[in-house]
């Protein structure tokens, strides 16, 4: 089973904490990233329970103190590896007068927070961070919180959502624009909870996207069904495309149109993917994906597609390494500030596996010859789950094994990855596990 969508899981817990009464969540991703957000919500005064405590199927129950009802956490909030958790919670905390401190693991402490500090400071909140807007960071909300109108220079759902979560606490209308639409799970979930939301292109035919919300609604608990994460489905999906003779069905995969750039790209490359049983769950489109091994050809992936597949470039680069011809992926500046610098991690890692790959500025170029590469390399994962899973998938088809130096990060987004891949017939060997 594909684990629950990470983006939607974070948001379901946060919105549950901002609603009065009971919110129930099924399909929640029980990965480290999301469990950190659950702990943060508890530390801020929400009740968050898994029932049953162990075993399946699990329903998560959240009882929130409501908007403007959160209380000062007694300790530092450690968001682990999660940029989404850190930035969304920073948005929330910027609306509260109390003092809170956010930190994270070595990867998260390297990532830029100035992208949320800048807009959120305009509400009157004060941020004290390490140089360059790095965690740990202290947040104190302003005395008279102000709604915001923010023109974001980047298409980032984390930035957009941080501002919108702050805006939920403010009187009046909060507006965000971004140069092109990033994933809209926050907007969809706000609507699901009854928040007044207006969103869409700023003018007909424009790529610029605008969202406005009306602050201080009274939210009551809702039922949330989290679909499978298309970003996680991407790994077994690409494995099935590459391993000759494969045919798999991935059930219940979220197909939000702002998340499906990888599927579009793979289909352009010649992938045999069928979308069956299309339906809608709690405001999000979902389908079952039937995937058959395919001969792939290199394509050009335009920069305009990046927001809809930003987390999928590492695994696309693996597909490209086995495809025939050149795949050119443009507009990847944001890849450099993910859990690791994924642009150079993929170029360097693929080269080590014998692939003709290079990064040129914000472009990743991978040239394959229609068959899997040599392999026979050890890849430094640098606390990045998607780098770890991408190279394990490449290892399934490479002539010689590929080793990753650390599997622990996989649990942030896909705790059952190794089990699922093993059940599908992969030989993933573990050694020297602590």
Is 311 annotated as catalytic? yes
* Strand ranges (E), 2-96: 20-26, 47-51, 59-65, 77-78
CB 13 within 8 A of CB 63: no
The interface region with ligand S3P, picked from 153-161, 190-198, 274-282, 288-296 by CB under 6 A, is: 153-161
The interface region with ligand S3P, picked from 20-28, 63-71, 152-160, 422-430 by CB under 6 A, is: 152-160
- x/- mask, ligand S3P, residues 321-360, rule CB under 6 A, reads -------------x--------------------------
| Rounded least distance, CB 334 to ligand S3P, Å | 5
Q: Which of 9, 12, 81, 84 binds ligand S3P (CB under 6 A)?
A: 84
Does position 81 interact with ligand S3P (CB under 6 A)? The reply is no
Q: Which of 373, 398, 409, 426 is nearest to 236 (CA)?
A: 426
CB 318 within 8 A of CB 359: no
Specify the DSSP element, H or E, that contains 34. helix 32-43
CB 221 within 8 A of CB 21: yes
Q: What are phi and psi of 430, to 5 degrees?
A: -115, 140
Does position 252 interact with ligand S3P (CB under 6 A)? The reply is no
Does position 180 interact with ligand S3P (CB under 6 A)? The reply is no
Farthest-apart Cα atoms in the chain, separation:
63
Does position 161 interact with ligand S3P (CB under 6 A)? The reply is yes
| Rounded least distance, CB 107 to ligand S3P, Å | 13
Does position 260 interact with ligand S3P (CB under 6 A)? The reply is no
Contacts of 62 (CB under 8 A, 6+ apart): 12, 13, 16, 17, 19, 22, 23, 24, 25, 41, 46, 47, 48, 221
Tokens of 198: 């207006």
Measured from the CB atom, is 187 or 311 closer to ligand S3P?
Answer: 311
The interface region with ligand S3P, picked from 156-164, 210-218, 362-370, 391-399 by CB under 6 A, is: 156-164
Q: Choosing from 5, 311, 341, 384, which is the catalytic residue?
A: 311
| Residue ranges binding ligand S3P (CB under 6 A) | 7, 84, 156-158, 161, 182-183, 310-311, 334
């Amino acid at each position: 089973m594909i684990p629950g969508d990470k983006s939607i899981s974070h948001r379901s817990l946060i919105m549950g904490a901002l609603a009065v009464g009971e919110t129930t969540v099924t399909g929640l991703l029980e990965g480290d990233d999301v469990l950190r957000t659950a702990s943060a919500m508890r530390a801020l005064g929400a009740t968050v329970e898994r029932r049953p405590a162990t075993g399946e199927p699990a329903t998560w129950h959240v009882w929130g103190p409501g908007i403007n009802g959160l209380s000062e956490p007694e300790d530092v909030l450690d968001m682990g590896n999660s940029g989404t958790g850190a930035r969304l919670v920073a948005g929330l905390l910027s609306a509260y007068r109390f003092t809170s401190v956010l930190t994270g693991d070595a990867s998260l402490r390297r990532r830029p927070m100035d992208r949320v500090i800048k807009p959120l400071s305009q509400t009157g909140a004060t941020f004290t961070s390490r140089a360059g807007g790095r965690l740990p960071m202290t947040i104190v909300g302003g005395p008279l919180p102000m709604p915001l109108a923010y023109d974001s220079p980047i298409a980032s759902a984390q930035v957009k959502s941080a501002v919108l979560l702050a805006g939920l606490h403010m009187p009046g209308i909060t507006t965000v624009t971004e140069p092109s639409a990033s994933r809209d799970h926050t907007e969809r979930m706000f609507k699901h909870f009854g928040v007044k939301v207006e969103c869409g292109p700023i003018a007909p035919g424009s790529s610029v996207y605008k969202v406005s919300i009306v602050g201080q609604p009274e939210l009551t608990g809702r039922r949330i069904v989290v679909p499978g994460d298309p970003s996680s489905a991407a790994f077994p999906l690409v494995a099935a495309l590459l391993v000759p003779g494969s045919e798999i069905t991935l059930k219940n995969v979220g197909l939000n149109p702002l998340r499906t750039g990888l599927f579009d790209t793979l289909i352009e490359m010649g992938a045999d993917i069928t979308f069956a049983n299309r339906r809608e769950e709690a405001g999000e489109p979902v389908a079952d994906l039937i995937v058959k091994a395919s001969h792939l050809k290199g394509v050009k992936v335009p920069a305009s597609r990046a927001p809809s597949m930003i987390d999928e470039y590492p695994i696309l680069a693996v597909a490209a390494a086995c495809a025939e011809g050149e795949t050119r992926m443009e507009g990847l500046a944001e890849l450099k500030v993910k859990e690791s610098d994924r642009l150079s991690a993929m170029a360097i890692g693929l080269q080590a596996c014998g692939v003709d790959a290079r990064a040129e500025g914000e472009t990743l170029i991978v040239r394959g010859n229609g068959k899997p590469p040599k392999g026979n390399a050890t890849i430094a994962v640098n606390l990045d789950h998607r780098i770890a899973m991408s190279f394990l998938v490449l290892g399934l088809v490479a002539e010689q094994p590929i080793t990753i130096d650390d599997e622990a990060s996989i649990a942030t987004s896909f705790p059952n990855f190794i089990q699922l891949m093993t059940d599908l017939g992969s030989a993933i060997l573990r050694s020297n596990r602590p």
